[in-house]
Amino acid sequence: MNLRRTVAAGALASVAFLGSAHADTLAADGSWAGFTVDGNLAPYSLSWVDDNALPLHFTFTIAAGFQGRLTVVDTGFSGDRYSVSDHASLLGQTGAGVDGDVNGAIEFSPDNALANPHFSRSVFTLGAGAHDISGVMSRSLADANGPLDASTGAVRLEVSAVPEPATLATLLAGLSLLTVVLRRRGNPK
């Protein structure tokens, strides 16, 4: 058994009780919130967990007239991938990462991982309402002993106003008028 798996097994043994799932409220200010995955943490397997090895999900509400932009990024070993759900309905997966060197492909900074194309990431647009975001590792970087099934990642939420229909209608009317004027200038008589 390799060292990482031995350490993870020891951490599991030191956890006396795995309680109920932990919900974190995700701030809508663009700050990162982290999660961990450790396949040795039965019964939670490859689900996102917190620092206490409890299943982790992120809750928040987006007010009417606003939309959210949820970013999920792998900050562990490049090559890991996550399935992301909202209220247990699949939103999608993070993009495919590039398998890295298991001894040096760790990126602990979400901003650095987001800027590095080797790490998987995805952005989901969410409408107004209550949201409950959770995730599962769907692909793990493998070494000679098989998949590592352990990693870290982060999520962030940014919220912005949705343009009102009247504003969009005014914009479209203005663009239509501009198109007519430009066509008339381009067709001399």
In this structure, is residue 112 part of a structural domain? Answer: yes
* DSSP alpha helix (H) spans, the chain: 3-14, 110-115, 165-186
In this structure, is residue 37 part of a structural domain? Answer: yes
Q: What is the number of structural domains in the chain?
A: 1
Average pLDDT for the chain: 81
Residue 53 is predicted with a pLDDT of 83
> Which residue has better confidence, 176 or 168?
176
Residue 9 is predicted with a pLDDT of 35
Residue 128 is predicted with a pLDDT of 96
Residues, the chain: 189
> Which residue has better confidence, 88 or 186?
88
- Answer yes or no: is pLDDT of 24 > 60: yes
In this structure, is residue 22 part of a structural domain? Answer: yes
Tokens of 105: 């492909």
Q: Which of 12-21, 37-46, 48-57, 152-161 has the lowest mean pLDDT?
A: 12-21
Among residues 81, 91, 80, 71, the alpha carbon closest in space to that of 157 is found at 71
Distances (CA, A) of 138 to 53, 73, 132, 135: 18, 13, 19, 9
In this structure, is residue 184 part of a structural domain? Answer: no
Residue 14 is predicted with a pLDDT of 29
Residue 6 is predicted with a pLDDT of 34
* 3-class secondary-structure state, position 158: strand
In this structure, is residue 176 part of a structural domain? Answer: no
In this structure, is residue 93 part of a structural domain? Answer: yes
Q: Are 51 and 36 in contact (CB under 8 A)?
A: yes
Q: What mean pLDDT do residues 158-172 have? A: 78
In this structure, is residue 73 part of a structural domain? Answer: yes
**Mode of pairing for the β-strands spanning 22-25 and 56-62:** parallel
pLDDT, tens digit, 9 for 90 and up, residues 93-136: 999 888 876 655 677 899 999 998 889 999 999 999 999 999 99
Q: How many CB atoms lie within 10 A of CB 69?
A: 15
In this structure, is residue 179 part of a structural domain? Answer: no
> Which residue has better confidence, 92 or 162?
92
Residue 4 is predicted with a pLDDT of 41
pLDDT, tens digit, 9 for 90 and up, residues 6-23: 333 333 332 323 345 678
State which residues form the domain around 119. 3-164
- At residue 40, φ and ψ (nearest 5 deg) are -85, -5
**What CATH number did the domain enclosing 41 receive?**
2.60.120.380
Distances (CA, A) of 106 to 2, 87, 96, 123: 17, 30, 16, 21
Q: What does the DSSP 8-state code read for residue 28?
A: S
